[in-house]
């Protein structure tokens, strides 16, 4: 019988070590109260932030100290909630931490408008007076760049206060999809009941019995159908908030506003969509190969996740996966590899699915904590790749925080997906070089192809969907459930031309939580393109390329994303890396087709 265990049933070594942040929730409460009292200290500087160099340095340092503490308080509360999204106490802690973060942002909101009253020359003169201000040089450059889209301190404070409200639709969606929704239990071919969950849905669609896959697919999407209007209203209002916030900051479109934050030209987005659409023939070929491998007359949506090997993949237990991943990172040097190994032994990872646990996977933690990785490990190759992926994020954070001051300790999403996908590419190469079992090798190649399909192609499809949804809202057209289905279904038909598209798959947009972070998903596609180019360079040029890549990881956000990627040897201002990644995808298709033959 398949069942999801209670958290208490999982061995401690496979859970993350939140006690390394706060030993108890009471300690969290003390930290919360302490930093909440400090927030008001910022307000004493309002109107005086740029009075002189000493004051400016003091207010920037104070802000960073407070934000560091707030981040840790919030991170702990969020991870406590994610252990069990039905835990009311943890939900309350998270809500309080979100309010605290909003209060801190509001209290600090005067700083950037006041900085924008300076000229570049005036700031440089301040650096002459207080050399420590040089640390903030790139930050100030970014603030001055955003002057045309920054409002008065009063309006900025209001917008900061409204952040809880404008982000509420995502919170509502999260509670609905993870805490309140439950999915049916179906019988597998042996007669055993299997509970469908958010975490195991795609894994169940890899089972060899086609009728079972169909039953899982239909049961899952029929459950979403019951909340269709609720989710449509939630997403519609999320899009409205994006559009209104963009207009409040004097942008023509929400997409322009989202991309201007990290200083990414909209041409990068368009290059991605155009290049992927020019290469849909490769995706169509993948679908046709899958249809032939499965020996079916027509490829259906419940067949998409089946491997080209047309059978279940090998079992890869977690402990074996950690060995494979650590060994695969050898090209990045012994220091990088050993730190990953030590992190795995230090309970960075919350490994297994449990009742009420947040679905999916992510890498978390703050400047003052160790990394933390949420997983829902399923003992398969896909989960092993997800582990490699999240460890890439965690090591990016570790190296950045070790090298950079707090102000540059984070990094833009545009570059965030590079580190994770480089790890995946290195894992693919390592497994193909060292594992001789033909069955395993076929599934490794299939995993690579599926990750390109689901990242480069699928996320670009998502990018087209949200661009069109925002465009319609900006033109005043209503975003109803039917209209959203129509947009998504049309894209699915174009991307998967050789397959049969049904009404249920047109509702797939409902299950994508990333849509509540506007114009986020395209960066998965640009990220995998850049990562494959970097991984190729490391394999071709060895240590020199690896050092350039590690230098990129250590820079955090000290430069703009496109500049950072040039350090690693990739120019994402052009379509070349995207075309190169799609060419590699085509070559891997050839390899697996030949292996299967």
Closest CA to 280 of 77, 543, 491, 55: 491
Residue the block writes with tokens 């934000």? 67
Residues 528/452, Cβ–Cβ less than 8 Å: yes
Cβ count within 10 A of residue 73: 27
Residue 355 structure tokens: 């009742």
- Phi first, then psi, for residue 373 (nearest 5°) are -125, 125
Side by side, the strands of the sheet bearing 372-377 are 349-352, 372-377, 362-364
The residue annotated as part of the active site, out of 112, 215, 353, 390, is: 390
Q: Is 191 left (phi over 0), alpha (psi -120 to 50) or beta?
A: left
H helix or E strand, kind and range, residue 494: helix 481-495
Report helix, strand or coil for 279: coil
**497: annotated active-site residue:** no
Residues in the chain: 597
Q: What is the bridge-based pairing of β-strands 372-377 and 349-352?
A: parallel
Contacts of residue 186, defined as CB under 8 A and 6 or more positions apart, other chains included, come to 193, 194, 196, 212, 215, 216, 219
The rounded Cα 156 to chain-centroid distance in angstroms is 27
Given a contact cutoff of 8 angstroms between Cβ atoms, the answer to whether 544 and 509 are in contact is: no
C-beta of residue 512 within 8 angstroms of C-beta of residue 359: no
> DSSP of 545-588, one letter per residue?
HHHHHHHHHHTTTSS-HHHHHHHTT--TTSSHHHHHHHHHHHHH
Dihedral, 119, 124, 125, 128 alpha carbons, nearest 10: 170
Q: Which two tokens stand for residue 588?
A: 């891997």
CA 589/CA 132 separation, integer angstroms? 54
In 3D, which of 151, 135, 264 has the Cα closest to residue 523? 264
Q: Are 333 and 550 in contact (CB under 8 A)?
A: yes
Helix ranges (H only) for 329-457 are 334-345, 381-403, 413-434, 438-452
Cβ 520 vs Cβ 413: under 8 Å: yes
DSSP classification of residue 208: S
Structure tokens at 405: 């001051």
Residues linked to residue 299 through DSSP beta bridges, in sequence order:
499
Q: What angle do CA 409, 529, 458 make, to 5 degrees?
A: 105
Which of 455, 430, 410, 428 is CA-nearest to residue 553?
410
Q: How far is C-alpha 234 from the geometric centre of its chain's CA atoms?
A: 20
Active site residues: 390
């Amino acid at each position: 019988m398949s069942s999801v265990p209670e958290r208490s049933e999982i061995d401690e070594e496979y859970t993350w070590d939140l006690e390394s942040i706060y030993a108890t929730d009471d300690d969290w409460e003390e930290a919360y109260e302490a930093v909440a009292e400090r927030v008001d200290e910022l307000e004493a500087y309002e109107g005086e932030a740029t009075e002189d160099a000493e004051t400016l340095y003091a207010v920037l340092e104070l802000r960073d100290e407070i934000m560091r503490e707030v981040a840790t308080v919030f991170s702990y509360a969020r991870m406590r909630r994610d252990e069990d999204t039905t835990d009311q106490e943890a939900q309350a802690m998270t809500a309080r931490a979100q309010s605290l973060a909003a209060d801190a942002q509001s209290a600090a909101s005067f700083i950037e408008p006041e900085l924008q009253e300076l000229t570049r020359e005036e700031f440089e003169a301040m650096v002459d007076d207080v050399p420590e201000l040089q640390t903030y040089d790139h930050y100030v450059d970014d603030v001055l760049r955003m002057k045309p889209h920054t409002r008065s301190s009063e309006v900025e404070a209001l917008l900061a206060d409204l952040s809880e409200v404008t982000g509420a639709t995502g919170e509502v969606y999260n509670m609905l999809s993870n805490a309140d929704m439950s999915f049916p239990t179906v019988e597998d071919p042996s007669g055993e009941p299997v509970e469908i969950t958010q975490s195991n849905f795609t894994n169940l669609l890899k089972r060899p019995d086609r009728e079972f896959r169909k039953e899982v697919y239909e049961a899952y999407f029929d459950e979403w159908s019951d909340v269709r209007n609720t989710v449509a209203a939630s997403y519609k209002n999320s899009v409205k908030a994006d559009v209104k916030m963009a207009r409040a900051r004097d942008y023509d479109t929400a997409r322009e506003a989202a991309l201007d934050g990290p200083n990414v030209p909209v041409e990068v987005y368009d290059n991605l969509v155009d290049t992927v659409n020019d290469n849909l023939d490769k995706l169509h070929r993948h679908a046709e190969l899958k249809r032939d491998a499965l020996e079916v007359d027509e490829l259906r949506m419940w067949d998409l996740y089946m491997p080209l090997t047309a059978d279940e993949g090998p079992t890869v237990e977690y402990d074996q996966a950690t060995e494979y991943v650590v060994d695969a990172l050898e090209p990045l040097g012994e220091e990088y590899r050993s730190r990953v190994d030590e992190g795995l032994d230090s309970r960075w990872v919350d490994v297994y699915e449990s009742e009420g646990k947040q679905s999916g996977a992510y890498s978390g933690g703050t400047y003052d904590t160790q990394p933390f990785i949420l997983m829902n490990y399923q003992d398969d190759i896909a989960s092993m790749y997800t582990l490699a992926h999240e460890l890439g994020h965690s090591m990016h954070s570790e190296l950045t925080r070790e090298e950079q001051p707090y102000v540059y300790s984070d990094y833009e999403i545009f570059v965030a997906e590079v580190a994770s996908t480089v790890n995946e590419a290195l894992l693919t190469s390592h497994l193909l070089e060292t594992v001789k079992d033909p069955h395993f090798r076929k599934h490794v190649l299939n995993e690579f192809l599926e990750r390109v399909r689901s990242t480069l192609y699928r996320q670009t499809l998502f990018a087209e969907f949200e661009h069109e949804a925002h465009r319609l809202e900006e033109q005043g057209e209503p975003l109803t459930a039917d209209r959203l289905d129509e947009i998504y279904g049309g894209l699915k038909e174009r991307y998967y031309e050789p397959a049969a598209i049904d009404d249920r798959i047109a509702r797939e947009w409902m299950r994508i939580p990333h849509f509540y972070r506007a114009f986020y998903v395209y960066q998965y596609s640009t990220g995998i393109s850049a990562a494959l180019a970097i991984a190729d360079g490391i394999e071709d040029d060895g240590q020199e390329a690896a050092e350039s890549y590690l230098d990129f990881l250590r820079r955090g956000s000290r430069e703009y994303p496109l500049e950072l990627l040039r350090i690693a040897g990739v120019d994402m201002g052009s379509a070349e890396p995207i075309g190169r990644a799609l060419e590699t995808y085509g070559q891997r298709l050839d390899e697996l087709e030949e292996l299967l033959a």
